[in-house]
A = this chain, B = another copy of it.
């Protein structure tokens, strides 16, 4: 499992899609490099200036919380760099990761005034944080923006429905293959397109996302490697037989 340089570059790219996170507070929305991917892609210069006025740029380090399930939802968030794990816990500690948020993802679609899930950083993460109140006021008079938010909610819902199918009816092998193929697609969508798939989350995170144990995830990946479907590298996997993986994910 040698260090993979292409992979390292891939991870670095996700991390720093915003060139200088430390100076995020001084960055302008109009120069934001995930704008076209995010809900802000629907805003013109004037809207952007107003959006920037109500947004705060926040930076959190690995495993720090962005917000916690059950707390009063004072803010909405727009991920600008890094990856977040979104999860729900049962009282006895069992965890379900309902998704991984990537740069451009909007975390704010909620029916109640409390967060329905928790979110924390995998590696360092930058977000735009807006007070719910200001955000509500902002969108009130901008129908096209609301339409954009709706598209994002619809995409999120579709992903959730796919995940229900995966969790309820797929085998361990199919779960892992689907996850790898789907994750690669999402990385491609944000501009990280290569055959080496970056997996910045831990095996435990993957297990909690797929409704498996860490041992099953590890064994299945090892078996895929034995069967020459992929190679496990530091921080990810290199897909050797994408056709087979896609077939497994579909079936």
A-side residues, CB < 8 A to B, are 88, 90-92, 94-96, 98, 109-112, 116-117, 140-143, 146-147, 149-151, 153-158, 160-165, 167-170, 208-211, 250-251
Other than A117-B161, A168-B211, A169-B211, give 6 A-B pairs with Cβ distance below 8 A.
Answer: A143-B146, A146-B147, A160-B161, A163-B164, A164-B164, A168-B209
Chain B neighbourhood of A142, CB < 8 A: 143
Chain B neighbourhood of A92, CB < 8 A: 251
User: Is there contact, CB below 8 Å, between A158 and B90?
Assistant: no
Chain B neighbourhood of A110, CB < 8 A: 154, 158
Chain B neighbourhood of A160, CB < 8 A: 157, 160-161, 164
User: Is there contact, CB below 8 Å, between B153 and A98?
Assistant: no
A80: min CB distance to chain B, Å: 22
User: Is there contact, CB below 8 Å, between B109 and A210?
Assistant: no
Q: Which of A142, A161, A168 has the most CB of B within 10 A?
A: A168
Closest residue on chain B to residue A112 by CB atoms: B158
Bound CA–CA A111/B157 (angstroms): 9
Bound CA–CA A155/B157 (angstroms): 10
